[in-house]
Structure 1
Amino acid sequence: MKRAGTAVLVAGLAVAGLAGCAAGETSPEVTTAAAKPALWNPCTEIADDVLRAAGVDPGTEETGLAGVPQSGWEICGWRGPEYSLTVYTTDKTLAQFEQKPGNINFADVTIANRSGRQFRIEGDTRNAFCDVVFPASQGVVQLGVNNSAIADGPLDDPCAYLQRAGAVLVPAFPK
């Protein structure tokens, strides 16, 4: 099951005002903004052996949310026997994550010698999700863990899984 509620999903909509020109008229001068640099893509940048060490199967890769790309984001997820994890990148800021309604219980954490902000999603009554957002030069990189709904036996706290998986994943994240 994908974590559609975990990330801030703000679809960017570019609206361009285009004026038609009659024959012989010239178009007004248009100033274009510099193109944003491409976001770091976890699907192509995290090696399979790192994913296996994090406890997930590289063969289960899924891009986007439930396979649907999200404008302004690079999203990649994988499943393992006990949990699934998703890595998100965006140019959003840490402050935007902290101000988003529904993101709660922020706490400072350090994973693989990198500081981040761990948070939970309001309404997660099953204690199934845990997320950490790491500031990066492009914006943020988010690591999310979701306990498996089909695992046998009791499941660990998803933040414990996130700490273990993050220990091998976070060194691959952009600074």
Structure 2
Amino acid sequence: MGRRITLMLLGLLLASGVVGCGDTTSGSPTTNTTTTTAKALFNPCTGISDDALRAAGVDPATEEAGIGGVHQSGWEICSWRGPKYFVTVFSTSRTVSEFERKPGNVEFEDVTVAGRQGRQFRVEGASKNLDCDVLFAASQGVVQLRVQNRAGQDNLENPCTVLYRVGDSIVPALPR
């Protein structure tokens, strides 16, 4: 029962981070007469090696694409479980600025993870002290690395401390 609640909580938290990032637009759409090709999104499920995942302390066999196994339009999402935390990588065409403007995203700061510049932030709410996120700008938009401690575990580390350690193996696999 505890595992089911934890998984449901994780799904809700991930959905709030993904779904709430969009902007509302009113009016009629305009037609663009120039043809542009959208850059394909990085797929973390296929783009991060099993060796990198094991080095990050998660089990590659626990891979879950999407949120609760459901694909999210405009996103590529993959998560894995470890004994005390989850690692999730989000890939989107959105920008860092869009994340910064989203209500509920707080405590932004510039950081370096595995030699790469990023923007660390937290999401307000009950899970604020359980998870840590870092955004990395990429040619496709943004790649986001999230570490979320497993609720109910004892002696949990600060999730941002864990993210930096996990990032040593995961970040080199992320697109620039």
* TM-score category of the 2 structures, normalised to the smaller one: 0.7 to 0.9
Alpha-carbon contact 2:15-2:67 (below 8 Å) kept: no
Aligned length in residues: 158
> C-alpha separation between the residues in 2 aligned to 1:110 and 1:102?
23
| Superposition deviation, residue 154 in structure 1 | 1.4
Render the CA deviation track for 1:99-155: whole Å, top value 9, x for unaligned.
Answer: 00010000111001100000001113561111000111110100001101243x210
SS of 2:109's partner is strand
SS of 1:109's partner is strand
Equivalent residue for 2:78, pick from 65, 76, 91: 76
Note the 1:1-175 alignment, pairs <5 A.
Answer: 1=7, 2=10, 3-5=13-15, 7-9=17-19, 33-124=35-126, 127-151=129-153, 153-175=154-176
> C-alpha separation between the residues in 1 aligned to 2:127 and 2:38?
38
Alpha-carbon contact 1:8-1:100 (below 8 Å) kept: no
Query: Which runs of 5 or more residues in structure 2 are unaligned?
Result: 1-6, 24-31
More helix by share: 2
CA distance 1:157–1:6, change in 2 (3 Å): farther
SS of 2:97's partner is helix
Render the CA deviation track for 1:22-51: whole Å, top value 9, x for unaligned.
Answer: xxxxxxxx9684342220100001000100
Q: Which has the larger radius of gyration?
A: 1
**RMSD, matched Cα:** 2.1
CA distance 1:106–1:81, change in 2 (3 Å): same
SS of 1:116's partner is strand
> C-alpha separation between the residues in 1 aligned to 2:57 and 2:132?
16
Query: Which runs of 5 or more residues in structure 1 are unaligned?
Result: 13-29
After TM superposition, the score normalised by the length of structure 2 is 0.82
CA distance 1:119–1:35, change in 2 (3 Å): same
Alpha-carbon contact 1:63-1:69 (below 8 Å) kept: yes
> C-alpha separation between the residues in 1 aligned to 2:68 and 2:34?
33
